[in-house]
A = this chain, B = another copy of it.
Amino acid sequence: VTAMKIAVLGTGPVGQAIAGRLAELGHDVTVGTRDPEATRTRTDDSGTATYAAWQQDHPAVALATFEDAARGADLVVNAAGGNVSLDILDQAGDEHLADKVLLDISNPLDHSQGFPPRLFVKDDDSLAEMIQRAHPRARVVKALNTLTSSLMVHPETLGEETTVFVSGDDAGAKATVVGLLGELGHTDVIDLGDLSTARGAEMWLPFWIRIAMALGGSDFNIKVVRGAGVVNDR
């Protein structure tokens, strides 16, 4: 494993899971946030300092503004909510995303109409493509948006190989992300094709949500079971 300088934009469950695990694996990780001091002192309803508590368990992970995190990074992870992703990537700065692999984990969930959320883009466009259009020089790869954060970084806990997916227009960037996915323990990665295939991966979310509701939890992933009629099998 070659250590990379990685910026993880977003301090929520996805950001924490990805940043913590990539740091454990030896990468030089900086979490990006709007206001680092506010993030450090943020408390939940019970008065617990939430990010600070996580930071104590992950002392190797740095915290910086979106812009500072992206500026110093070789690879940028969008671990922010879909509804704020475009704004956060603007704050990171177009010039700091140029020529870098941008791993986009976000989902275009619209929570404004209640639960279950709808998608604010779908079918003839995707959030990944919106991000790519906003930052044409970034090398956007959609991946890991199809499963819960704990399984993004520890798929082996399911006790069985399951499947993840990559979409992107830049073959080299996809290869880099597939390498990272391998470090995280993902051994079955389907390359869906160009970035427009992220429309499929993002439209999975409404189904994922209904399955999670039925199962009473998000601790599941899909395995794509191939039959003999599949041509491009592994």
What is A's interface to B at a CB cutoff of 8 Å? Answer: 113, 118-119, 122-124, 150-151, 157-160, 162, 165, 167, 190-193, 197, 199-201, 203-204, 206-211, 213-233
Contacts and interface: CB of A to CB of B under 8 A. Distances in A.
Per assembly, the copies of the chain total 2
A210 B192 contact: yes
A217 B200 contact: no
Given A207-B201, A211-B192, A224 B227 contact: no
Q: Is the interface of A mostly helix, strand, loop or mixed?
A: mixed
Contacts of A201: 207, 210
B214 A220 contact: no
Nearest to A201: B207
Enumerate the 6 nearest inter-chain pairs by beta-carbon distance, A residue then B residue, closest first: A219-B229, A216-B231, A200-B210, A219-B227, A200-B207, A216-B232
A160 B197 CA distance: 27
10 contacts: A122-B203, A157-B228, A159-B227, A160-B225, A193-B214, A200-B207, A201-B207, A214-B232, A219-B228, A220-B226
Contact of A191 (B165, B206, B214): B214
A189 to B, nearest CB: 11
A23 to B, nearest CB: 24
Nearest to A231: B216
Contact of A222 (B159, B213, B224): B224
